[in-house]
Amino acid sequence: MSEIGTEEVEGLFDCGDAFEELGAAQPGDAALLERAIGNSMAAVPTATAVTASAGMSTASWFAILAAVIGLVVVIAWPFGDKGEDSPALESAPVVIEAEASAAAPDRRTELVPTAPRGGATDPPTPAVRDEPAAVAQPPVTPPARVKRTAAQLLEQANAARKEGRAARALTLYGQLFKAFPRSREAQTARVSAGRLYLERGKPKAALSQFRKYLSAAPRGSLAEEAAAGRATALGRLGQTAAERDAWTELLDKHPGSVHSARAKKRISELSSD
């Protein structure tokens, strides 16, 4: 082998050893690699010419070529191993991600409301039930009150009195007095109501009914009964003088009354007192 071929080969090996010592890729390694490969390729024709002029064998030439290929592999090896850790490879995705993250808030702000700080969230929206539509109901018409005549009221009151329902009878008599105060039925009912009040121990109420009848119909068909009832009510109220006068008046106006014997006896008792 000539001196020129040997020095070139050794120079290439020395260059490969220098790259081996560097270990990790450094800035400018790519340019250095390109230059080293160019020098190596330039050395190949030189070595070929030297080999031809020196009369080197084909085996020697293939040995030099293998050494050059091995040198290229050794120089490129750090780049293959350190490619994943290369700052250049890492920086590109970071830049893209940063750009994406910088643009994302504008779209999120417009479309998605951010949750308030402190973990507070909007209150849940209450579920809305679909209630069936209310069906309009026809207005309820109260039953019409049947207007009763004075005769009907008197008949119903007398029937209740005969059945022993004194309270019901007095209620109906009262309705008759209020609805038809000047009717013949109302005047007749005064005497019946007075008798019921006496039976129930209410002489004052009874006296009021008897007096009203005698005032409205002094010569009525029930005047005798009203006069006897008035005298009885006065006696129960303890008005002895008024009771004696009431019995005396009854005998004067109705000398043949069925109450004559009772009236005379009561006048005698009151006179002896």
Give domain limits for the chain. Answer: 3-81, 150-272
Alpha helices by DSSP H, listed for the chain, are 3-22, 29-54, 58-81, 87-111, 150-162, 166-179, 184-199, 203-216, 223-236, 240-253, 260-272
Fold of 150-272: 1.25.40
Q: What's the whole-model pTM score?
A: 0.48
pLDDT in tens, 151-204: 999 999 999 999 999 999 999 999 999 999 999 999 999 999 999 999 999 999
Q: Is the pLDDT of residue 225 over 70?
A: yes
Nearest 5°: the CA angle 231, 237, 239 is 70
Q: Quick one: pLDDT at residue 146?
A: 59
